[in-house]
Structure 1
Amino acid sequence: MTRYYTKHKEVGVEWSGFTYPKIRKKLNKNIEWTNTCYAMPSSDGIFQVQDRDYQFIVDIKEKKCDCRRWDLTGIPCAHAISCLRHERIVPEDVLPECYSTASYLIAYGHHIRPCRDKSVWEKVNAAEVLPPVYEKRVGRPPKSRKKQPIEVVGPSGPKLSKHGITMHCRHCGDARHNRATCSLRKAGVRPKLPTKRNLV
């Protein structure tokens, strides 16, 4: 692949080379990390790289590595650079075209013209854009997230939610009300509840 090296001067900094400074800085950092990598060729551009106590498989033709840094960013990782060194390939030659200085200048080469004062803007018959209506909620705002039932731990272990459980009154034993709202208790009537022996 033929690389065209350009020079560009911006804000007192001279750019030279194929890649712009930010990507070159990341690439140089990966080159420093290759000191702990040892590449062993297998076949057809596939290598096994030993990095301390870990092993990685690198395919320089498909531009893939088991660490997935090369796959996600397009910048060769330290394992890939160790394989490229074995094949006498310059790491900058495998970088995507989008990281080139020429692509950067094309993307950011257009000038943004400043806007005129608001008083001279042209008025149009369109709906006025307003900010969204803020609805203040009742009560104190929450300070922490809502925990799952398994996260609420009591003295004897995790507490389970009572959602879906039918409530029963302790006074009369009927469902769908409690002792405080029991009509028989308010009337002073003590119902005859079956004992536990009869329930067995």
Structure 2
Amino acid sequence: MAELKDTHRKCYDNLLEIGIEKNSRVRSPKMRYKMMTTNITESMNSCLLAIRKLPIASIVEFIRDLLQIWFRDRRTNAREMSTYLTRFKVNDKWTDTSVDLEQRSCSCRQWDLDELLCIHVMAVARLKGMLITALCSDFYTTGWLKHAYSMIVNPVPKLETWKIPDEIRHRIILPCEKKRLAGRPKKSRIPSAGEFRKQKLCLICGGKGHNKRSCPNLSCSTSKPLKKHVLVTFASKKDIID
């Protein structure tokens, strides 16, 4: 916040007016999930780029098939796990921290926010002779992982078997009255903070920010690439028979 105050004072004042607890997960008084909802929506949107222009029924069927594949793969991985806890990573920042086992808190805030043991809590638990798996949240256990993907995604039945109420069958749905913005609509999702997109390289010089048509080294090259001529010979009918 101190760095933000020096660089963007107006943005700093707006955050203070809204409330730090609403913009910072560390300052939030309640437990909040660490993934942004908008990022999840945009990630799902990137999976639907190729079928966006299809009818609604086809898009829904594609999403159902996609979820069925995801649930099947994760259900299979969960069944193959033989450990009590699922696989996870622990980051060590080599900082001085304080651990409170009674309050289930660590000054690095990883245990408080994610309910997942940090390396500091692991060190204290081993020193006290405590069971490490008992200090983690139940949501990180293999049993909860199996339960999360135990649902079966069934295929959509035939249209003739659908039971549609009369009030919905005779309802006329009009398109939304929304003014279309100028320009081509965006298809790629908005990158989150700290995320960098992979830039394409030029095929001539290998540089970034341009392609082979706008390459600055193209004018320096005097020799043009030779066209490949393919010599095609046809065998006579007599040669084929022989």
Please give the TM-score of this superposition, normalised by the length of structure 2.
Answer: 0.37
- Larger Rg belongs to: 1
* Structure with the largest fraction of strand: 1
| Greater helix proportion | 2
Structure with greater contact order relative to length (CA < 8 Å, sep ≥ 6): 2
